[in-house]
Amino acid sequence: MTKKQTYSQILKSSAVIGGSSVLNIAIGIVRTKAMAILLGPSGVGLMALYGSITELTISIAGMGINNSGVRQIAEAAGSGDTERIARTGTVLRRISIFLGVLGAVFLIGFSGPVSILTFGNDQHATAVALLSIAVFFNLVSAGQGALIQGMRRISDLAKMGILGALFGTLISIPVVYFLREQGLVITLVLVAAMSLITSWWYSRKITLQSPSISASQMGQEAAALLKLGVAFMASGLMMSGSAYTIRLIIVNKIGFDAAGLYQSAWALGGLYIGFILQAMGTDFYPRLAAIAKDNTECNRLVNEQAHISMLLAGPGVIATLTFAPLVIAIFYTPKFEGAVEVLRWLCLGMMLRVISWPMGFIIVAKNAQKIFFFSELAWTLAYLGLAWVCINTFDLKGAGIAFFGSYAFHVLMVYAIVRRLSDFHWSSANRETSALFVGLIVVIFCSFYVLPPLLAIGVGTLAVLLSGIHSIQVLLNLIPLDRLPHRVLCVLVWFHLAPSHANETDDLESVGKTAQSNSVMRRKSFVGIERSIFTFMACTLFSMWVHWYEGIYGWLAVIHYFESDVKLLELIFHQLISA
């Protein structure tokens, strides 16, 4: 597969998952807005705690088989052995049901202690016990989803997510409307049930043989799934556990309302980035696992995935930073205004997550279980330690600061690991892209603390436009133009982002050849937009310095400062002439 074909494959999978994510976002706006109006911050915080309990139980009982199942199914599918695919798929389904029952029984048995640990009393024990139904449904659904993903049926996965979100929303809003907080557990159960139904519907389309599996074969397949799944389980447990612990710290230190604000910021911070990370796990992970033994190909694929991910994520993160108050108002209510600052800190961490995740998949694809476990453990300890210190010091925004700090640590740690594991190095394109976007994001973030609000929003809006144009231009250079629909080409030409004669013919092959002949011209445009972005950052930094200096010393001091600099330069100039 050529380099441009690889980029096309990455963009195709990102487009499919991204398209479904756009619909999921639209559905999520309706659901989130309704929950915010009906429940308020404290109700949203309670729902988040119930969700954390469910996720934590799934991480413990699930044994990571949804992730290990993807690898095993993908490996079997790559071998072309239909009997092996059928055997692995059958065992995966059976284990999912068994673990679902185990998880449900576990949560019922410990519902009292979990309620006391979470809420300080056992009044929520019955609600926690009812969450066991959602645990069962989710674990069975995860096994069916792993089969679909392992077979790389990307469009089915996208449809499954859309339908699950749509049906879950249509059911959950009426329940919460009539029952308010008493309907939260029922809502989570019904959403899980919809997920189970949709995953069953699409998994039944995969035709598998009915293999005769002996007890020894069943044991071997189960052992292979669980052995690899333990590392994934540990990772999922640490992530769910850390999310649960952070919310407990917020509830105990600040209150339920603050937990609701944090949940709203967390949901919005990962909304746009989610589709990029989801596409990464859906298509990139199976492809990487197939070539994990070839370090050169493995590193090339990771660099390409990271490059695409940063180009897609950068403008979205900057837009979220800039329009955070508007985003909060659209998705929630004015009562959630306190989530704006923590949302901006979470955005910084989300960009670092996009940078670190492609590298982290090298560890998983190479089946380095111990390294994977200890790296996740180190990140979890760093995250919780920072959260404890920062929340006590900075209140709610400290949770966002801790998330950002933990992923700054994660990027450095994972890069050091993969350097030794596969001799991974960032490509020059990735170094340039990461420097550009990280620098731009930091400048826009700081502008909201220095510049007047309206000026900061104007600066952020211009940054969104410049970064968006840059991403589009680079992406167009990475993929053949003949792969694009003709209407898309016409739109790009209208905005002067593609050669002006690209829409003069319906022959897309000739369009592609023409685009190749214009590669030099397009490279000049990249240099031009990059220079514009760096010039823009320099001007913004200068403006921030002027406002900061004016706020401390006043405009007269700024003028005197420049006058003294001019006089000093004149003195030096005259001395040089006289010498």
Q: Are 282 and 17 in contact (CB under 8 A)?
A: yes
292 neighbors 418 (Cβ within 8 angstroms): no
Residue 427 lies in a domain: no
Q: HEC profile for 528-574? A: HHHHHHHHHHHHHHHHHHHHHHHHHHCHHHHHHHHHHHHHHHHHHHH
Do the domain assignments include residue 235? Answer: yes
The answer to whether residue 178 is domain-embedded is yes
Q: Are 88 and 72 in contact (CB under 8 A)?
A: yes
Pair 354, 277: CB distance under 8 Å: yes
> How far is residue 318 CA from its own chain's centroid?
15
**Residue-wise pLDDT tens digits, 385-436:** 999 999 999 989 999 999 999 999 999 999 999 999 999 999 998 999 999 9
Taking alpha carbons only, the member of 423, 557, 215 closest to residue 415 is 423
DSSP characters over 108-154: HHTHHHHHHHHHSSSTTHHHHHHHHHHHHHHHHHHHHHHHHHHTT-H
Number of separate domains in the chain: 2
**Domain extent at residue 142:** 26-257
Kindly state the DSSP code that residue 37 receives in the 8-state scheme: H
CB-based contact 145:157 (threshold 8 Å) = yes
Q: Using an 8 Å Cβ cutoff, are 48 and 247 in contact? A: yes
317 in helix, strand or coil?
helix
**pLDDT at position 552, please?**
65
Q: Could you tell me if residue 524 is inside a domain?
A: yes
* Domain-terminating residue out of 226, 257, 288: 257
Asked if the structure places residue 100 within a domain, the reply is: yes
* DSSP classification of residue 338: G
C-alpha 559/C-alpha 434 separation (Å) is 37
Token representation of residue 532: 């514009």
Report residue 396 CA to chain centroid gap. 22
pLDDT recorded at residue 484: 56
Cβ neighbours around 113 below 10 Å, total: 12
Angle at which helices 125-150 and 111-119 pack, to 10 degrees? 100
CA gyration radius, the chain: 26
Q: Is residue 221 one of the residues assigned to a domain?
A: yes
Residue 303, amino acid: N
Handedness of CA 128, 133, 136, 140 (dihedral sign): negative
Q: What is the model's pLDDT at position 480?
A: 64
How far is CA 442 from its chain centroid?
19
User: What token pair was written down for 544?
Assistant: 């921030």
Say how far apart CA 151 and CA 70 lie, in whole Å.
8
- For residue 423, CA distances in Å to 125, 303, 310 come to 51, 13, 22
Query: What's the confidence (pLDDT) of residue 510?
Result: 46
Spatial separation of the C-alpha atoms in residues 571 and 563, rounded to whole Å: 12
- What are the tokens at 565? 């600099």
**Of 417, 402, 133, which Cα lies nearest the Cα of 265?**
402
Rounded CA gap, 228 and 69, in Å?
Answer: 9
CA distances from 236 to 58, 288, 348, 387, 451 (A): 9, 20, 22, 19, 40
401 CB-contact burial (10 Å; exposed 0-12 / middle 13-18 / buried 19+): buried
From 230, 217, 208, select the one nearest 150 (Cα to Cα). Answer: 208
Phi, psi of 484 (to 5 degrees): -90, 145
Is-contact 353 266, C-beta < 8 A? no
Q: Locate tokens 């998994």: which residue?
A: 203
What averages of pLDDT result for each successive group of 10 residues across the chain (579 residues)?
A: 59 67 76 84 85 87 80 72 78 89 94 91 92 95 85 80 84 90 91 90 80 74 76 78 87 86 85 74 74 86 90 91 87 83 92 92 84 90 94 91 95 94 91 91 92 90 92 80 58 59 48 46 59 87 80 59 62 60
Rounded to the nearest angstrom, the gap between the alpha carbon of residue 254 and the centroid of all alpha carbons in its chain is 27
Q: What does pTM read for this prediction? A: 0.71
* Paired tokens of 478: 């990475």
- The secondary element (H helix, E strand) that includes residue 391 is helix 369-394
Distance CA 168, CA 171 (A): 5
**Residue 167 phi/psi, 5° resolution?**
-65, -40
Residue 396 per-residue DSSP state = T
SS (H, E, C) 63-93: CCHHHHHHHHHHHHHHHCCHHHHHHHHHHHH
Residue 48 is assigned to a structural domain of this protein: yes
Instruction: Answer yes or no: is 411 within a domain.
Output: no
What pLDDT score does 521 carry? 44
